[in-house]
Amino acid sequence: MTDAGVVSLGMQAIQVAITVAAPVLIVAAATGVLMGLLQAVTQVQEVSLSFIPKIIAVSAVVALFGPWMLRTMVEFTTRLLSSLPGMVK
């Protein structure tokens, strides 16, 4: 396997990781910002007030996007494993 092949494979792995993680990270960040804004407006500084909505939102996103995330990872893994014989010289 050439250097370009290794770099290409690494780029594909990073792209799949970002694609799979993006929905969860976006929802967690948006929920955190909204809860921080709500806490700043109401001046309520309860620690659990920011974590519980984030946990609920992230759980909902994983339940909603979980099958798609799993399918994306399985497709990448299948492509990777099926291309292994061609990578070995």
* pTM for the predicted model, two decimal places: 0.81
The whole-number pLDDT of residue 89 equals 67
Q: State which amino acid sits at residue 36.
A: G
Q: What is the pLDDT of residues 36-85, one digit of tens each?
A: 899 889 888 887 888 899 999 999 999 999 999 999 999 999 999 998 88
The whole-number pLDDT of residue 16 equals 97
User: Coil, strand or helix: which one is 44?
Assistant: coil
Q: What region, left, alpha or beta, does residue 44 occupy, with left being phi > 0 and alpha being psi -120 to 50 degrees? A: beta
> Which secondary structure element, helix H or strand E, spans residue 89, and what is its range?
none
The whole-number pLDDT of residue 1 equals 75
Cα gap 86→31, rounded to integer Å: 45
The whole-number pLDDT of residue 45 equals 81
Domain boundary assignment for the chain:
3-84
The whole-number pLDDT of residue 84 equals 85
Contact criterion met (CB below 8 Å) for 16 and 76:
yes
